[in-house]
Amino acid sequence: MPTPAALKAEILRLTREYSALMHRANRPGTDEAVVFEPGRTSVPYAARVFTEDEVEAAVGATLDFWLTLGPEGAAFEAELAAFLGVKHSLLVNSGSSANLVALSTLTTHKLPTPKRVQPGDEVITVAAGFPTTVAPIIQCGAVPVFIDNDPVTGNARVEQLETAFTAGKTKAVMMAHTLGNPFDLGAVLEFCRRHDLWLIEDNCDALGCTYSLPVARARALGFTENSPDLPADGTHITRYTGTWGDLSTQSFYPPHHLTMGEGGAVNIVHRPPLKTAAESFRDWGRDCWCASGVDNTCGKRFEWQIGELPKGYDHKYIYSHLGYNLKPLDPQAAIGRQQLKKLPAFIAARKRNWETLRAGLADLGDYFEFSLPTHASDWTTAGFSWDASGAHCDPSWFGFMLRVRPSAPFSQTQLARHLESKKIGNRALFGGNLLRQPAFVQLQKDRPQAFRVVGAMPGADELMQRALFLGTFPGLTPTMLDYEIATIRAFVRSK
Ligand SMILES: Cc1ncc(COP(=O)(O)O)c(C=O)c1O
């Protein structure tokens, strides 16, 4: 009789063999095994990139059949937190859930009243982007206050922050690093410190991006160290995005920098007590913090007296918040652990692919306006030049965004349709100006006080009307990128 361990080893050996044959199209774009036929094979804007390592991990964890978040989850949380250099990372089942947990965390009654986000309090956010960066603010009873986007970076126009601020009402800023381009963290953090506000970074599209502030400015904000493994230059503090705010969020849906199918994380950057509240909102609202399958971590399971419950009521069933259940499964975390090992190579590939597209389209400036990283003033093949702020950043791009000039003899939609007909995946900047989405138009009718808008939103409108983005994901091969460039050039020439 073979032992269970021997059987498992054999299943995993066969799994690897199967995956190596079956999943050739999903391998990194540098892999010789990826076959591409221009015009016949689709070039998606993003997709899962994996090898037999992830498939083996998924099958192994499934055979172990722990199912609920368990040992793989705990290991992934520790590994992600160590990579970023944050106190804790908490796995959830999506980036949207991560945003919901992050904002909910700031509503906990365990915070001092002036810091607690309560119904009617305001949270500053940005008009163009992904809807579930904003939805949790409303779902938690707070009021989003929209500022405009800068169409060049896709990020917030930080000069509008002070106008959006209302003393006694504004409690937090919550915004995304658009398409992997870090927002102006220096200006946003200085604003937050001035008014004692929370910052939630939606880092869903930006895992592995870095932001650098001159040492004196960083120190004044309380930062003295680089993120782990990031080289020091003696003049700047350089940290990953998602490690500058109080809380940050990740998505592990397939287009993102790493995937586990569905999945996300909340990073608790430096204030450990926020972890207990975040965990509570993720895990049914419970007061108990035992991991799944574990009892009596606190050592006084039957000795608590909270609320109006009888003394000694089982701590496992004491609820200090109105929570959710937003946990993923353990096999997802097992996949994520393998992806995490590939993350540095994935990050490098995204940067390389963006550069290839940028260089290949560089002379089409009469038709397109190209994005720039926050703080950059120009791009050449030698690199970016930076503005006078002394800050700079290094995006690991989620996508390659361009804006069709109003003077171009074609529209964004015509270009998008053409690319689609040539099997080249492309996307709008998510929901565009969210205020024009039916959900917000309806909300304005139903509850005009549900959100506030700081002036007109020309930047968000421009992004909605003129921008589209191509993929930069690590599955793109050099031939695919050449095909994309040649197709766009031929389209422009034909007009
Ligand atoms: C900026 C941003 N935040 C949040 C999300 C939501 O992530 P998920 O799809 O995992 O719910 C996305 C989705 O792509 C996103 O782009």
Indicate which atom in ligand 1 lies nearest the CA of residue 129: 1
Is residue 20 situated within a structural domain?
Answer: no
**Cβ proximity of 267 and 92 under 8 Å:** no
Same domain, 77 and 223: yes
Same domain, 313 and 383: no
Provide the domain limits for residue 215: 71-317
Residue ending a domain, among 274, 300, 317, is 317
Residue ending a domain, among 299, 317, 335, is 317
Indicate which atom in ligand 1 lies nearest the CA of residue 132: 4
pTM across the whole model: 0.98
Same domain, 225 and 262: yes
Same domain, 476 and 370: yes
Which backbone phi and psi does 175 adopt, to 5 degrees?
Answer: -155, 165
List the residue whose alpha carbon is closest to atom 7 of ligand 1: 95
pLDDT at 284: 97
Ligand 1 probe mutation, 130, 155, 260, 427, most atoms within 8 A of CB: 130
Residues 6 or more apart from 9 whose CB is under 8 A from it? none
Ligand 1 probe mutation, 253, 259, 267, 473, most atoms within 8 A of CB: 253
How far apart are the CA of 204 and the centre of ligand 1, in A?
A: 6
Indicate which atom in ligand 1 lies nearest the CA of residue 94: 10
pLDDT tens digit at each of 495 positions of the chain: 899 999 999 999 999 999 999 999 999 998 888 889 999 999 999 999 999 999 999 999 999 999 999 999 999 999 999 999 999 999 999 999 999 999 999 999 999 999 999 999 999 999 999 999 999 999 999 999 999 999 999 999 999 999 999 999 999 999 999 999 999 999 999 999 999 999 999 999 999 999 999 999 999 999 999 999 999 999 999 999 999 999 999 999 999 999 999 999 999 999 989 999 999 999 999 999 988 788 999 999 999 999 999 999 999 999 999 999 999 999 999 999 999 999 999 999 999 999 999 999 999 999 999 999 999 999 999 999 999 999 999 999 999 999 999 999 999 999 999 999 999 999 999 999 999 999 999 999 999 999 999 999 999 999 999 999 999 999 999 999 999 999 999 999 999
Same domain, 101 and 212: yes
Is residue 115 situated within a structural domain?
Answer: yes
Is residue 55 situated within a structural domain?
Answer: no
First to last CA, the chain: 72
| Distance of alpha carbon 77 from alpha carbon 97, whole angstroms | 16
Is residue 12 situated within a structural domain?
Answer: no
Using only C-alpha atoms, the chain has a radius of gyration, in whole angstroms, of: 23
Distances, alpha carbon 54 to alpha carbons 27, 91, 344, in Å: 11, 18, 16
pLDDT at 131: 98
Ligand 1 probe mutation, 96, 125, 149, 201, most atoms within 8 A of CB: 96
Same domain, 185 and 246: yes
List the residue whose alpha carbon is closest to atom 8 of ligand 1: 95
Same domain, 244 and 106: yes
Distances, alpha carbon 250 to alpha carbons 74, 101, 173, 269, 333, in Å: 16, 12, 17, 13, 14
Is residue 83 situated within a structural domain?
Answer: yes
110 token code pair: 């365990």
pLDDT at 283: 97
Indicate which atom in ligand 1 lies nearest the CA of residue 262: 10
How far apart are the CA of 202 and the centre of ligand 1, in A?
A: 8
| Distance of alpha carbon 232 from alpha carbon 198, whole angstroms | 28
Q: What is the Cβ-side half-sphere exposure of residue 140, based on CA atoms within 13 angstroms? A: 32
Q: Which residues line ligand 1 (CB under 6 A)?
A: 94-96, 99, 130, 132-133, 176, 202, 204-205, 251, 253, 264
Is residue 31 situated within a structural domain?
Answer: no
H helical segments located in 361-411: none
Instruction: Look at residues 47, 54, 427, 30 and name the one whose alpha carbon lies nearest to residue 257.
Output: 47
* Number of C-beta neighbours around residue 453 at 10 A: 16
Tell me if residue 143 falls in helix, strand or coil: strand
pLDDT at 232: 94
CATH code for the domain of 152 = 3.40.640.10
Angle at 204 between CA 483 and CA 128, to 5 degrees: 80
Quickly count helices (H) and strands (E) in the chain.
14, 17
pLDDT at 292: 78
Q: Number of folded domains in the chain?
A: 2
Residue ending a domain, among 282, 317, 352, is 317
Distances, alpha carbon 266 to alpha carbons 50, 192, 204, 250, in Å: 24, 20, 10, 7
Question: Which residue, chain included where needed, has tokens 């949270």?
Answer: 123
How far apart are the CA of 189 and the centre of ligand 1, in A?
A: 23
Same domain, 131 and 201: yes
Is residue 61 situated within a structural domain?
Answer: no
Indicate which atom in ligand 1 lies nearest the CA of residue 251: 10
| Distance of alpha carbon 274 from alpha carbon 83, whole angstroms | 20
Same domain, 301 and 411: no
Same domain, 207 and 139: yes
Burial class (CB in 10 A: 0-12, 13-18, 19+), 449: exposed
Tell me if residue 434 falls in helix, strand or coil: helix
Q: What is the Cβ-side half-sphere exposure of residue 307, based on CA atoms within 13 angstroms? A: 14
pLDDT at 32: 84
Is residue 51 situated within a structural domain?
Answer: no
Residues 6 or more apart from 88 whose CB is under 8 A from it? 77, 81, 267, 268, 272, 275
23 beta partners = none
325 beta partners = 283
How far apart are the CA of 43 and the centre of ligand 1, in A?
A: 21
| Distance of alpha carbon 451 from alpha carbon 143, whole angstroms | 5
DSSP string, 174-185: EEE-GGG----H
Instruction: Look at residues 354, 393, 352 and name the one whose alpha carbon lies nearest to residue 376.
Output: 393
Kindly list the catalytic residues: 256
Same domain, 478 and 363: yes
H helical segments located in 140-205: 161-164, 185-195
pLDDT at 291: 84
How far apart are the CA of 134 and the centre of ligand 1, in A?
A: 11
Same domain, 83 and 221: yes
CATH code for the domain of 402 = 3.90.1150.10
How far apart are the CA of 186 and the centre of ligand 1, in A?
A: 24
